[in-house]
Amino acid sequence: MWRELKTLISSINSNKCWYCESRDMRSDNAVDHFRPKGRVARERHEGYWWLAFDPRNYRFSCTFCNSRRVDEEGGTSGGKQDAFPLADGSKRAVAPDDTLEGEFPVLLDPCCMPDTDLLWFDETGQVVPNPSTARGPSQALRVKTSIQLYHLDHVKLVESRRRVYLQVYRLIRAADRTYRRWMSGDEGAKDVYQDLLVQIRSQAVREAEHSATARCALLGYRVSSGAADAVLRFL
């Protein structure tokens, strides 16, 4: 039953880790319990055992986001494990009858739109607080803690995102040049322009690995690139 459920959960986000959007690189994917089921790190807490079979507590996760890993080569470490820190002012649930609404998790939840909107991916492949949304100190702290605990600064992951960003950049530049040719009377350029827009869009659709990085690249060039703006209208 668990295997069938895992397949279903995996398919929801095109087999990508819900935290880092990796598909294979950091594989051995597991179903993570967002609220740890057995114990809570650095707390006198027996874990959210009553949520062990609650699908709302499941997040499809790669090994690097889910488990402790040290990347000697890149000098980084991370992995969520049993961590589930709460912000000041929270009332932690300790039993099934306790409400979860009094908890303000520090870790960003990939199932919560305002949370995912706090992240921004830059041209180097690094993830940083979104300058448009993560404006308060608590949001910046949540981003920083999430980067560390989900190991989002893992060098191979950063490099993978950087390649996506660079690819989008090259494609939008090529598309902008082709568009200008079309506008100058070269009717044959229109099909090439169309093909380039399709290629850019394929990097930014939800199913693509690191699509959030591709979308940040498009948003970053939206004003200076007509192609970036066009693709964003078709997402």
Q: Are 107 and 149 in contact (CB under 8 A)?
A: yes
Residues 6+ apart with CB under 8 A from 141: 106
- Tell me the β-bridge partners of 121: 127
Q: What are phi and psi of 25, to 5 degrees?
A: -55, -40
User: For Zn ion, which is the closer residue by CB, 20 or 200?
Assistant: 20
Q: Determine the number of helices (DSSP H) and then strands (DSSP E) in the chain.
A: 8, 6
The binding track of 57-96 with respect to Zn ion, each residue x by CB under 5 A or -, is -----x--x-------------------------------
H helices within 136-210, ranges in order? 137-149, 155-183, 189-204
Token duo for residue 170: 């090259």
Tokens of 152: 């989002």
Nearer to Zn ion, 19 or 179 (CB): 19
* Binding of Zn ion by 19 (CB under 5 A): yes
Query: Minimum Å distance from CB 136 to Zn ion?
Result: 26
Q: Is 197 in the site for Zn ion (CB under 5 A)?
A: no
Position among 9, 16, 17, 165 found at the interface with Zn ion (CB under 5 A): 17
Segment interacting with Zn ion (CB under 5 A) among 13-21, 71-79, 94-102, 108-116 = 13-21
Only segment of 12-20, 28-36, 75-83, 181-189 that touches Zn ion (CB under 5 A):
12-20
Report the residue number, 22 or 225, with the smaller CB distance to Zn ion: 22
Q: Residue 22 CB, nearest distance to Zn ion (Å)?
A: 5
Token pair recorded at residue 80: 């969520």
What angle (nearest 5°) sits at the alpha carbon of residue 233, between those of residues 13 and 111? 25
Using the minimum distance from each CB to Zn ion, give the nearer residue, 65 or 107.
65
Candidates 17-25, 44-52, 120-128, 170-178: pick the segment binding Zn ion (CB under 5 A): 17-25
Residue closer to Zn ion (CB basis): 65 or 106: 65
Q: How far is CA 187 from CA 174, 180, 191, 194, 226, in A?
A: 16, 11, 8, 12, 18
Query: Binding residues for Zn ion, per CB under 5 A?
Result: 17, 19-20, 62, 65
